[in-house]
Amino acid sequence: MEGGKVNLELKLTDVRSHESGVFMCWRQGQKPDPQVVVTILEHGSQSERQAIVHSESPAVVQLGEAATFSCYIQPAWSVRVTWLKDGKMISWTDRLYTQTKKRLLGNSQGQQQDTQNDQLVASLFVASVKQNATFTCRIETRPPEEHSMQITVRVPHVESLTAEPDKDLVEYGQPLTLTCTTSGSDSEVVWLKDGSELVFGLAFPKRRKQSTKHPPNKLVSTVHFESISFADNGQYVCYIPGASKDILINIEGRPPRLLGVTGNNFYEDEELSLRCTTQYARNAGTQVQCFVLSIFCFTN
C-alpha cells in the first residue's frame, strides 16, 4: 500500500495463446476498473491481432447444388469461428452444414519453426443451396472480425414452348417446328413424346434437333419435323431438371378436305379416269362423290 492506494499485481507463467483475453480488477461492491486486452502471441508471430485475410466461395450455383465457403485467417492461432446465414447463427448440430478448421502451412518446406505465413482455414460446407443468401464468417477476436460472402441461386425455368405453324393450324404433310426456351440451367434440353424420350439420328431422318445458347443464361432448343403425319400426334414435353412444359400436337378429327382432282388425256368413246385426293379422310368407308360439270373436246 502506498499513499492510501493498494497496488495489485497478477503474474502469469507459462502462458498459452488461448489465454488471450480481457483482464480487469475491482473491489467488491465497486464498479470494475478499466479493462486491458491481452493478446498472447505464438513464437515468431509478428501480428498482434488475428484477421481474415481473404475468403473463397462460389458466386452462382444451380438450385439444390452444394457449396463450400472458406475464410483464411492469420496468424493461424486457434480461434473460435462462428458462421451465420443472413445474420442468423448456424448451429453446429444442423445436418445441412458441416463446419471444419485446418491449418495451412505457409512455407514449402513445412518447417515447424517458421509459422508466420501459416493460415487457419475455416470452412462451411452447405449440402444444398436453395435460395439466394449471405454467409458470414466471424472470428471471435476483440473486437470480432467478420467477412460476408453472397451467393446467387439460379432457378431452372422453361420460359416458353411454341409450335410453328400453330398447333391448332398445322396440317398433314406440312413442316412443323417446336421451339423451347429455357433459363437458369446449364443442362441440355430433353424432349419427350408421350412419356418417352424423343430419339433423333439417322434412323429418324424426317426430324432433327438443334440447340443454341444465348447469353447470359438462356438456351433455345428446337425440333424440326420435315413433314407432319398422324404418327407424329402426341404430347411433347420440353424438360430440364427442375422444370418442364408440354404441348399437344393432334391433327386427328379435323374436317376432311379436298386437295385436288387429276385425270388423264382421253379420246372420244374412251374411258375417263379421275383421281381425287383428300385430307383427313382416312376411313376407307368415307363417301367421296365426283361431279362432271363439263368436258371440252379439241380437234385439229
Write a three-state SS string for 91-148: CCCCCCEEEEEEEECCCCCCCCCCCCCCEEEEEEEECCCCCCEEEEEEECCCCCEEEE
Mean pLDDT is highest, among 13-22, 105-114, 288-297, for 13-22
**Which fold, 157-249?**
Immunoglobulin-like (2.60.40)
249, 167 contact by CB (below 8 A): yes
Report pLDDT for 89.
95
**Which fold, 51-154?**
Immunoglobulin-like (2.60.40)
Q: Which residue has the higher pLDDT, 109 or 174?
A: 174
232, 171 contact by CB (below 8 A): no
Q: Which residue has the higher pLDDT, 253 or 89?
A: 89
Task: Give the contacts of 141 (CB within 8 A, at least 6 positions apart).
Answer: 49, 50, 79
Task: Identify the band that residue 300 occupies on the pLDDT scale cut at 50, 70 and 90.
Answer: very low
Q: Nearest 5°: phi and psi at 23?
A: -115, 145
The rounded percent of the chain whose pLDDT value lies above 70 is 71
Task: Identify the band that residue 275 occupies on the pLDDT scale cut at 50, 70 and 90.
Answer: confident
pLDDT at 125 over 60: yes
What global pTM score does this model have?
0.58
The DSSP symbol for 2 reads B
- Topology alike, domains 51-154 and 157-249: yes
CA distance 27 to 202: 93
Q: Where are the domains of the chain?
A: 51-154, 157-249
Report pLDDT for 183.
93
pLDDT at 108 over 60: no
